[in-house]
Amino acid sequence: MAISAVYRVDRSYSWNYEHAPTLPRVRRLPPGPGARLVGYDLNSPLGVAAGPLLNSRWIEGYARLGYDVLTYATVRSRPHGALGLPNIRHVDNHEQGAVIAKRPGLNGNTTIAVSLGQPSMDPEVWRKDVRRAKERIGRGQMLVVSVMGTPSLTDGIDAFIADYALCATWACEAGADAIEVHLATPNPFAEPGLMVYENIPLAAQILYRVRTSVSVPVLAKLGIFRTPRALHETATKLAPWVHGFVLVHAIPRRVVDDEGNAAFEGREWVEVVGSATFPVASRQVEELLAWRKAGAWPHAILAVGGISTEERAQHLLREGADATLVATAALFDPLFAARCRRALGASAVA
């Protein structure tokens, strides 16, 4: 039985790509409070993070629901298939790991484990589709395209860096208003479990090549850090090559069923996202905001991770986040942006 009316978890990624959802309609969308992000004037600081918006039809649907920062799901310079089912499962998050939930979380308490394998369509497909997506969004909205390099162990690190830049260039040419450089992905040249952003010299080289290859703002997508010091050092070293930071991507966790077996066959570690990640993700966002206030650098900060209620979005915006992006909430609660617009409007009047 499907547990999401938007993304069909009982169907493949390819099926969901071809079958954009029928989203609920908003009779009268509340006006946005306005926002400014990396040089763009927006209707609101509300958006969708990389992941849920598989193509232009998904983007068009969410744009009509009041999401104004629309991130096209991560693309590559060559086609890459998704992993087999299951790809998404509801989980309960515990200290030692995550366990498959017996009942899905409701009312802003949804937490899921995701194992898709970072799929991407052929560049000829997604480049044309990015153009369509740009045409289908309205005034006061922006299209961010998330890109990543595809490793080739025979070609080495230089080719990996160049691949990021090539993908970013294609996305820019197709109409992206900004490029999100997805660095919260496994580093193919390091020990298993280490991410690209955790290798500061590599991440800096990637961002430098992208920044000098495109004419639009560049955002660095980061994952979870082991210490505040590591976050600060990384952001400081990467700051010269970006206009902003997007964080937190997801929390890698070991996910098992109630008998202790791997919940995703052959995949012991997967990405956990949703409500339960908010305490960790928001703390990291707040730390970065504090350093920005202290004058470390002036860059935009786009908050992601467990923003499942209007109160959480408002909190991070009050703290100084330039935008709040949702992923799990977009899939399980498509009207989130409309309600959040009302809440932001009410707080402004108060």
SS3 labels along the chain: CCCCCCCCCCCCHHHHHHCCCCCCCCCCCCCCCCEEECCEEECCCEEECCCCCCCHHHHHHHHCCCCCEEEEEEECCCCECCCCCCCEEEEEEECCEEEECCCCCCCCCCEEEECCCCCECCHHHHHHHHHHHHHHCCCCCEEEEEECCCCCCCCCHHHHHHHHHHHHHHHHHHCCCEEEEECCCECCCCCCCCEHHHCHHHHHHHHHHHHCCCCCCEEEECCCCCCHHHHHHHHHHHHHHCCEEEECCCEEEEEECCCCCECECCECEEEEEEHHHHHHHHHHHHHHHHHHHCCCCCCEEEEECCCCCHHHHHHHHHHCCCEEEECHHHHHCCCHHHHHHHHHHHHHHC
**Contact, 20 vs 58, CB < 8 A?**
yes
Token pair of 94 as six digits: 């515990």
Give backbone dihedrals phi and psi of 191, rounded to 5 degrees, phi first: -65, 150
* Dist. CA 131–CA 113, nearest whole Å: 31
Nearest to 73 by CA among 173, 174, 175, 182: 182
What's the confidence (pLDDT) of residue 140? Answer: 98
Name the CA radius of gyration of the chain, rounded: 19
**Contact, 213 vs 168, CB < 8 A?**
yes
* Dist. CA 291–CA 296, nearest whole Å: 6
What's the confidence (pLDDT) of residue 5? Answer: 67
* Dist. CA 288–CA 291, nearest whole Å: 5
Token pair of 181 as six digits: 């450089």
Q: Does domain 34-84+116-252+270-349 have CATH number 3.20.20.70?
A: yes
* Dist. CA 228–CA 316, nearest whole Å: 18
What's the confidence (pLDDT) of residue 251? Answer: 95
What's the confidence (pLDDT) of residue 183? Answer: 98
What's the confidence (pLDDT) of residue 42? Answer: 98
What's the confidence (pLDDT) of residue 192? Answer: 87
Contacts of residue 341, Cβ cutoff 8 Å, sequence gap at least 6: 29, 30, 31, 32, 33, 44, 46, 66
Nearest to 272 by CA among 281, 261, 284, 285: 281
What's the confidence (pLDDT) of residue 97? Answer: 84
pLDDT digits (tens), the chain, 350 positions: 334 569 999 999 999 999 999 999 898 999 999 999 999 999 999 999 999 999 999 999 999 999 999 999 999 999 999 999 999 999 998 877 899 998 777 767 899 999 999 999 999 999 999 999 999 999 999 999 999 999 887 889 999 999 999 999 999 999 999 999 999 999 999 998 899 999 999 999 999 999 999 999 999 999 999 999 999 999 999 999 999 999 999 999 999 988 888 999 888 889 999 999 999 999 999 999 999 999 989 999 999 999 999 999 999 999 999 999 999 999 999 999 999 999 998 666 45
What's the confidence (pLDDT) of residue 108? Answer: 73
The burial of 124, by beta-carbon neighbours within 10 Å (0-12 exposed, 13-18 middle, 19 or more buried), is given as exposed
* Dist. CA 37–CA 43, nearest whole Å: 11
